Amino acid sequence: MSIAQMRITDIRTTTVAVPLEAALRHANGCHWGRFIRTIVEVDTDAGITGLGEMGGGGESAETSFRGLKNYLVGHDPFALEALRFLIANPTAGLYNNRTQLLAAIEFACLDIVGQALGVPVHALLGGKLRDAVPFASYLFFRFGGDSTGCHEVRTVDQLVSMARALKASCGFTSHKLKGGVFPPRHELACYRALSEALPGDSFRYDPNAAFSIEEAIRFGRAIADLTNDYYEDPTWGLNGMRQVRAAVPIRLATNTVVVNFEQLATNLRDPAVDVVLLDTTFWGGIRPCLKAAAVCETMQTGISVHSSGELGVQLATMLHLGVVLPNLTFAADAHYHHLVDDVIAGGKLKYENGAIRVPAGPGLGVRLDRDKMETYAALYRRLGDYRYDRDPARPGWFATVPNSAWADPEAAFWFDGNSARAL
């Protein structure tokens, strides 16, 4: 069969829950000790199956993908521009936003095209400029306990020892602290201690827009003497970020308020951020990230690769993107090292000197391990969804923007899989 005649015949989805080393706290709540991801398999009449992945929010997306089947069966997986309008037309999409679904289908179609042509996805994107993508450590405050017996991270010393351990095991030279959990004075002490403990490395801090403009300016000025990659989403909104940018001598980055081309254009006309963190899911696929990166290259706006929580399929999309970007001057982000396992054949991709090599095989270069898929699908059926935007240690609390109701840095908690108890 010629590839010109290839058609999508089915879309299959499996929701998996893959354990994290520990429950990870963030400004909006918590990753409750596991990532819930929907693995997408797109079948074709050529016998080639492409892989996609979607996650976020602690919930399955299977129902949403089921609704796409009627749109996509019969579609040519090579017709990627048409795919965008077929399911995510910008005006029709006002009623039914499918940007993230489009991303997962785009991953799978690129995987199919690459397999059909016998080339890796990066070759379809212009060809790799490097063999591996450097990553930052992604340091979270976290609960103690859980099945892996990992230690909690709450105090300055606990955070510094975690950073040292990750540097030793993975080779990171850039470190990201996910904040917005504890009072800013505690997180400032943590961030400064990291810088002092790891001289020569660079740092980035991301409180997920939890600060008021005034708090963001105070914190930014208090870290301005450190080796910062950038200051990520200290406050909410392009207008808030613009005010912070004018008052703080650090580059600002975002993965929240420049996540589409309209926002990118607005930011270029009236800059609010200096570095756009490209997320293959939020932007609707690898190709839109590449287009945005080209605009940023022309305008000399910084870029990096964002992590919205990934298993190996999504990580592969980040790697194929990362190796073709000429202007990737910052280490990418990944949650990947917090996972205890993966659903891809051969197990987790490995860090070498803080970087992960792009898979060499055709398409995305990763395939599913069926036993692992069944194991973690069963774990999902047992544990179910979780509330990503709630903190199991603070019943009744929910995040506001800006926030001022911080978690107590003196309070230790033990997390057992679905609830936290004070120690």
For every residue of 266-315, which 3-state class applies, written as one string?
HHHHCCCCCEEEECCCCCCCHHHHHHHHHHHHHHCCEEEECCCCCCHHHH
Is residue 60 exposed (0-12), middle (13-18) or buried (19+ Cβ within 10 Å)?
A: buried
Number of residues that bind Mg ion (CB under 5 A): 3
Among the candidate windows 51-59, 96-104, 204-212, 399-407, which touches Mg ion by CB under 5 A? 204-212
CA dihedral 315, 398, 216, 165 (to 10 degrees): -40
Measured from the CB atom, the residue of 287 and 306 that comes closer to Mg ion is: 306
Catalytic residue among 122, 176, 306, 335: 306
Q: Which of 53, 106, 201, 206 binds Mg ion (CB under 5 A)?
A: 206
The answer for residues whose C-beta is within 8 angstroms of residue 410's C-beta and 6 or more apart is none
Strand order in the sheet with 420-422: 144-145, 413-415, 420-422
176 is catalytic: no
Among the candidate windows 230-238, 258-266, 353-361, 378-386, which touches Mg ion by CB under 5 A? 230-238
- Whose tokens are 């990503």? That residue is 388
- Provide the β-strand partners of residue 84: none
Query: Tokens at residue 414, please?
Result: 């033990």
Nearest Cα residue to 254 out of 278, 284, 229, 288 = 278
Catalytic residue among 26, 178, 186, 372: 178
Measured from the CB atom, the residue of 16 and 139 that comes closer to Mg ion is: 139
341 conformational bin, left if phi > 0, alpha if psi -120 to 50, beta if neither = beta
CA dihedral 240, 245, 246, 251 (to 10 degrees): 180
291 is catalytic: no
For Mg ion, the binding residues in 322-381 under the rule CB under 5 A are none
Q: Which of 255, 281, 301, 314 binds Mg ion (CB under 5 A)?
A: 255
Measured from the CB atom, the residue of 42 and 250 that comes closer to Mg ion is: 250
Shortest distance, position 208 Cβ to Mg ion, whole Å: 6
Measured from the CB atom, the residue of 55 and 120 that comes closer to Mg ion is: 55
Shortest distance, position 209 Cβ to Mg ion, whole Å: 8
Task: Judge contact between 153 and 186, C-beta under 8 A.
Answer: no
Among the candidate windows 59-67, 107-115, 145-153, 202-210, which touches Mg ion by CB under 5 A? 202-210
Q: Work out whether 314 is an interface residue with Mg ion (CB under 5 A).
A: no
For Mg ion, the binding residues in 126-155 under the rule CB under 5 A are none
Point out the residues that are catalytic: 178, 306
Binding site for Mg ion (CB under 5 A): 206, 232, 255
